[in-house]
Amino acid sequence: MTRKLPLLTEDNTPFWQGGAQGRLLIHHCADCTRLFHPPAPICPHCGSFEVAPRAVSGKGKVLSYTINHQAWRPDLIEPYVVAIVELAEQAGLRFVTNIVGLPAEAVHIDMPVRVRFEQHEDVWLPLFEKDA
Amino acid sequence: MMFDRIFEKDVAITGVGQSAVGRPVARSGMRLTLDACLEAIADAGLKRADIDGVACWPGDNNNGDAFSPVGPNALIGTLGLQVNWYGGGYEGPGPLAGIINGAMAIASGLCRHVLVFRTITEASRRKVDKNASALTNKTIGRDSSFFWQWYTPFNVLSAINLMALYTQRHFHEYGTTPEQLAQIALTCRTNAALNPKAIYRTPLSLDDYFASRMISTPLRMLDCDVHCDASTAIILSRADVAKDGPNPPIRLEAIGAALHQPWSWDQIDLTATAARDVGEMMWARTDLKPKDVGSAQLYDGFSILTMIWLEALGLCPRGESGRFVEGGHRIARDGQLPINTNGGQLSGGRTHGLGYVHEACSQLWGRAGERQIAPHHVSVVAAGGGPLGGSVLLVRD
């Protein structure tokens, strides 16, 4: 399934390319020790510039999900699952992704998941699969 | 939230106008805009020369997009206006941003009469390209937009995917059911039957709702608003000069425009969204209370958003919107809180924001024809979804 890929920038490249080394890189603030997303040059919590990408476990849970049935483009393979995954490291640390590797109907809220990268050109998309 | 000065009390709506609404309408976006604007100017008892400000959300994105084909730049010259201030642009608190910006321009002394308008030609565009509004078509090549780049790589190609995430979470947290959600679509359709301009007017049953195609679980085709071609215009006037017009002024009692969360579709409170901040702000700017509201025109770009607005504006307790709308009687035209009395965007057409203001004024002025509800003095309008949100409390004294 083809993907609309993001334009890589200094700020977002660690997130989109961390998967090349099998790592999910999330921005971390050295001052207040919190993680935040999306990545930016400043910590949105404490205003510190002492921020840098840090590898997280890649584990989390499904906060919400939807099964998309609509063919928005001719080359899509429906149905597919769009979800918001909350990472294990910090409450509220989350992003939109896809849940893959199991039937769409089997996905549920609070399901434990782990990251699985899918490479498209120079982007490694952090998708998630069920964590045993 | 505490405020020292409630500027909107210096501003009133004095006239409204709307073009034909259709799917499609065989008129250009500019012609639709002129139809709406000239009707509104005349309705306010004004002439073109009286208009000294123009506001629009989102304005022309410099791409001729059917989402907003006409902005202030094009309209000013076409209509021969001489303005002291004008403004458009996407970044603002949702589809009511033009109203809020225009009111600020008046209250700050820049203008006396601001023409606010919103034109949309998505129905015509989709006759040519049915995927015209897919998010992949919003940017060419790689997605560099702040707006969408965190979503399109995961094939979130319509806002419905994000609204579905909110809906599923609402179901999970509060036990809201599909049957309850369906009442928004059913109520709008019932109301649309009495609106000659509405797109869909044939009656709708719960069975029809459940037979409609699933788009992104749990949202179905009938949870989505219907694309149309239309333009709507509202005249805002300084309160002291508003009294000179032919219509009883409809005061802007309070506005809500707050965003106290990230501008993001997934970093916000998923079941309250920006609407929560908007509602808190609006009620902090008035002595009126939710119980004073006689009608509510609540954004229904997707049905779940109407539910979220009901809660965010305190019209029902948080998490209770499902039970509030159950059976549909409370939100019906003769219920305790009539909503979307022209059929909303779900059945009336996606006029996208200002259509609700037009309808609220029509009801407050008692000129809504066959769909007129019981006389009342206070109406609330709210529009937007996710991080986008704004509201205005309207009072006809």
**CA separation for the pair B351, B373 (Å, rounded):** 21
* pLDDT the model gives residue B241: 97
Chain A contacts of B131, Cβ < 8 Å?
72-73
Comparing CB atoms, the residue among A3, A67, A72 nearest residue B217 is A67
- Confidence at residue B373, expressed as pLDDT on a 0 to 100 scale: 98
| Cβ within 8 Å of residue B146, ≥6 positions away | none
Q: For residue B155, which residues of chain A lie inside 8 Å, CB to CB?
A: 1, 3-4, 68, 72, 76, 80, 82, 98
CA distance A45 to A36: 8
Please choose, from the candidates B135, B178, B160, the residue with its C-alpha nearest in 3D space to the C-alpha of residue B216. B160
Work out how many CB contacts closer than 8 A connect A with B: 119
β-strand partners of B119: B231
Q: Looking at residue A105, what DSSP letter applies?
A: G
- Show pLDDT as tens, one digit a residue, over chain B (397 residues): 899 999 999 999 999 999 999 999 999 999 999 999 999 999 999 999 999 999 999 999 777 789 999 999 999 999 999 999 999 999 999 999 999 999 999 999 999 999 999 999 999 998 888 777 677 666 778 988 888 899 999 999 999 999 999 999 999 999 999 999 999 999 999 999 999 999 999 999 999 999 999 999 999 999 999 999 999 999 999 999 999 999 999 999 999 999 999 999 999 999 999 999 999 999 999 999 999 999 999 999 999 999 999 999 999 999 999 999 999 999 999 999 999 999 999 999 999 999 999 999 999 999 999 999 999 999 999 999 999 999 999 999 9
- Would you call A97 an interface residue with chain B, using a CB distance cutoff of 8 Å? yes
Residues with Cβ within 8 Å of residue B168, at least 6 apart in sequence: A64, A65, A66, A109, B217, B218
- pLDDT score of B156: 95
Which residues of chain B are at the A interface, by a Cβ-Cβ cutoff of 8 Å? Answer: 131, 134-136, 141-144, 149-158, 160-162, 164-169, 172, 213-219, 262, 264-267, 270
Which amino acid is located at A123 in the chain?
A: V
Name every chain A residue with its beta carbon within 8 A of the beta carbon of B132: none
Model pTM greater than 0.90? yes
pLDDT in tens, A42-83: 999 999 999 999 999 999 999 999 999 999 988 899 999 999
**CA–CA dist B251, B99 (Å, integer):** 12
Residue type, B253: E
Verify whether the Cβ–Cβ distance A68 to B155 is below 8 Å: yes
Instruction: Tell me whether residues A68 and B172 touch, CB distance under 8 A.
Output: no
Give the torsion sign (CA, B365, B367, B368, B373). Answer: positive
CB neighbour list of residue A132: distance below 8 Å, 6 or more residues apart: none
Half-sphere exposure of B145 (CA within 13 A, CB side): 19
pLDDT tens-place string over residues A74-114: 889 999 999 999 999 999 999 999 999 999 999 999 999 99
**What phi, psi does B161 have (nearest 5°)?**
-60, -40
CA distance B95 to chain A (A): 24
* Contact criterion met (CB below 8 Å) for B378 and B395: yes
Burial label, A75 (beta-carbon count in 10 A; 0-12, 13-18, 19+): exposed
